[in-house]
Amino acid sequence: MIRYALAAAVVVVGITAAFAQDSVTARRSVMKAISAPHYGVLGAMGRARQPYDQAKVDAAFVALETQVPKIPTLFPADSNKGPDAGSDYYAAPAAFQPQANADIEAKVAAVSKAIADVKGTAKDVASLNAAFTAINNACNACHSVYQARKS
């Protein structure tokens, strides 16, 4: 009987560990899917590291609109793993507190609103920079609280 209970406990721990790792992988995947259009397209074009291309700008906004709403689902309480070798950034412990859910949802709603407000306004480098800054400021409101950097 004790062997069965011990075996069941090992299975539960294994499943929990796998779920937590899947959450970390999902979180990292979504954040990269946001970073690529935000910094890799909008930011790069705004800094003249890439030539301005309206089709790429429009596609970047669509990608952001698609990925950003996924963020609130990425912080299950049992997925707090702290720093790891795979990234310089990680989710801060505050992101996994029960009261964080509503705050993260509100901050994500603000990012989504910023994207909606500036989508279609970027028609040249100057207006792209203004749009990028508005989105970036909304993103940083969450990152300042829920993102940590390995020291």
Q: List the chain domain ranges.
A: 2-149
| Closest by Cα among 42, 7, 55 to 125 | 42
DSSP state of 17: H
Q: Is the pLDDT of residue 17 over 70?
A: no
Q: Which CATH number fits domain 2-149: 1.20.120.10, 1.10.4160.10, 3.90.700.10, 1.10.357.140?
A: 1.20.120.10
Q: Could you report the per-residue pLDDT of 38-64, keeping only the tens digit for each? A: 999 999 999 999 999 999 999 999 999
Is the pTM above the cut of 0.85? no
Which pLDDT score, from 0 to 100, does residue 24 have?
A: 87
Tokens of 21: 């790792």
| Closest by Cα among 147, 134, 33 to 82 | 147
Q: Could you report the per-residue pLDDT of 116-126, keeping only the tens digit for each? A: 999 999 999 99
- Distance from first CA to last CA of the chain, Å, rounded? 47
Q: Could you report the per-residue pLDDT of 83-96, keeping only the tens digit for each? A: 877 788 889 999 99
Which residue is it, tokens 């705004």?
Answer: 46
Which pLDDT score, from 0 to 100, does residue 89 have?
A: 87
